[in-house]
Amino acid sequence: MLYLIGLGLGDAKDITVRGLEVVRRCSRVYLEAYTSVLAVGKEALEEFYGRKLILADREEVEQEADDILKDADVSEVAFLVVGDPFGATTHSDLILRAAKLGIPYRVIHNASIMNAVGCCGLQLYNFGETVSIVFWTDSWRPESFFDKMEKNRQNGMHTLCLLDIKVKEQSLENLIKGRKIYEPPRYMSVNQAAQQLLEIVQNRRGRGEEPGLGPLAELRVCAGFLHPEPFPV
């Protein structure tokens, strides 16, 4: 049996009672460590759960998923996810792989930024499409997230923006050369995200366009949260 278990948004104690019971009896427990992070480290989780955890980075989850699913048809394996298990498409892919192999699975949900964002005082019903704001590079500066924010604004909706996290990422050069050398981890701040949004506004105005966020687009209110998963606009 494969269990996908949400850990919530705070610390080790945010896991549900059912989730903790499963973790303590599984033969292997993986901790997904690249789509988001908790306020506490792996050691604190191990101390509270009373067992060892296996860190699962992007490379292992996306390229070596068979190792995670190994023997899950005859034993119990847990895959721990910060927030809720369905907060990233990677986790859905793991379920699809399990189903294809005939491995039964169960999902134990928990709080996610998708509903916890209500703490800022905005009604959840008034949020439009969620977007991810990614780190720009010298040669890659996508603006598609801004287009979705414009559409939400035009429809009178708020936007939840998930800010980029880079953990155990390779540079393009090292990736091409097959060198297992990884860049230092980076976590996008609210200020960095806002700066990219402002640059898009300025660039579009330079092309004679008026952003759909309105003539005072750069003055729109942003609420930033200290949790690694981002801010509503």
Question: Helix, strand, coil proportions of the chain in percent (round to 5)?
Answer: 40, 15, 45
190: left (phi over 0), alpha (psi -120 to 50) or beta: alpha
- Is 10 labelled as part of a ligand binding site? no
Closest Cα to residue 49, out of 26, 72, 77?
A: 26
Beta bridge partners of 79: 4, 30
Half-sphere exposure of 77 (CA within 13 A, CB side): 22
| CA 142 to the chain's CA centroid | 19
Question: How far is the C-alpha of 117 from the C-alpha of 22, rounded, in Å?
Answer: 28
DSSP state of 20: H
- Contact, 73 vs 102, CB < 8 A? yes
162 is in an annotated binding site: no
Beta pairing class for 165-166 and 186-187: antiparallel
9 is an annotated ligand-binding site residue: yes
5 annotated to bind ligand: no
Residue 112 labeled ligand binder: yes
Report the phi/psi class of residue 54: left, alpha or beta, with left for phi > 0 and alpha for psi in -120 to 50. beta
How far is the C-alpha of 227 from the C-alpha of 197, rounded, in Å?
A: 20
Identify the H or E element spanning 19: helix 17-25
Does the annotation list 67 as a binding residue?
no
Residues belonging to the binding site for S-adenosyl-L-methionine are 9, 84, 87, 112-113, 163
Residues belonging to the binding site are 9, 84, 87, 112-113, 163
